[in-house]
Amino acid sequence: MKYKFIFLFLLFSFVSYAYDRHKPKDTLAIYQHIDTNYIENYHDWLNLRMVGVVRDNKFAMTDNTSKGRLEYGINTNVNLGLGFSFKNIGFEFQYNPPGVNNDDYKYGKSKQIAFSTSANGRKIIYDVYYRYNQGYHTSSNYKIPNDTGFTYAPLYRPDIKNTTAGCDFTYVFNDMDPMDGLPVYLDEATYRPHMGKPLYKIPSPDPEYKSFGYYYATKYSQAFNTFSKRWFIIISH
């Protein structure tokens, strides 16, 4: 199973690289008028980083009859890792190294490992992650079973495992982009003079929205959210 997730990470990276190589053309030649002397491009630089993460993972069970509640969590909250990024593609690995979480004697041993990969293009950003946890303890103290004394301590369950995998997509809507096409639902006589202007300076066809850019971004976000809640829409201006 773990090898399948690693394969998916590599697959997403190749897809993101292909997307970056085929960016939309600058049909109005807007960016040809920018003075590139003031622009530094770090796209081809290899960036390495060390990562420190504090992460918690808990779940609870409730008895509907007695209303008793039992909560379990991990004790390896601090994780260290390495990450790198190159050409808009990033990869990160995290784990709980020995000597960082020194409370196994009290709560029992927990294992944790995490992979993640991400990439960003001109419009789309994605984050794919995989997390594995094993070994949970109760948040409260209980009497130790088969103990003749009155010892109370967290209950340890080394057999409990949790695997989480997911993917988040972010779409960046830049309303400073020029209007380079005329939608068929707009009145041509009204909006033809606005061709080439930034979207935030163009009036909205619906007076409830402050600009055509904001109107279009809102409708775009609503359309995405009808079939997926893992999309995040960002208006960059």
Give domain limits for the chain.
2-169, 174-237
Instruction: Provide the pLDDT for residue 2.
Output: 47
What's the pLDDT tens digit per position in 164-196?
888 887 877 777 888 888 888 888 888 888 888
Instruction: Provide the pLDDT for residue 173.
Output: 78
Structure tokens at 160: 């409990």
Instruction: Provide the pLDDT for residue 227.
Output: 64
Instruction: Provide the pLDDT for residue 31.
Output: 52
Instruction: Provide the pLDDT for residue 35.
Output: 57
Instruction: Provide the pLDDT for residue 160.
Output: 93
Instruction: Provide the pLDDT for residue 5.
Output: 46
Instruction: Provide the pLDDT for residue 19.
Output: 41
What's the pLDDT tens digit per position in 95-130?
887 777 778 888 888 888 898 988 877 777 888 899
- DSSP secondary structure string for all residues of the chain: -HHHHHHHHHHHHHHHHHHHHTPPP-TT--GGGS-GGG----TT--EEEEEEEE---EEEEE-TTT--EEEEE-S--EEEEEEEEETTEEEEEEE--TTT---HHHH---EEEEEEEEEE-SSEEEEEEEEEEEEEEESS-EEPTT-SS--EE--EEEEEEEEEEEEEEEEEE-TTSB--S--TTS-HHHHGGGTTSBGGGSPPSSTTSSSHHHHHHHHHHHHHHTT-SSEEEEE--
User: Residues of the chain whose pLDDT is less than 50?
Assistant: 2, 5-24
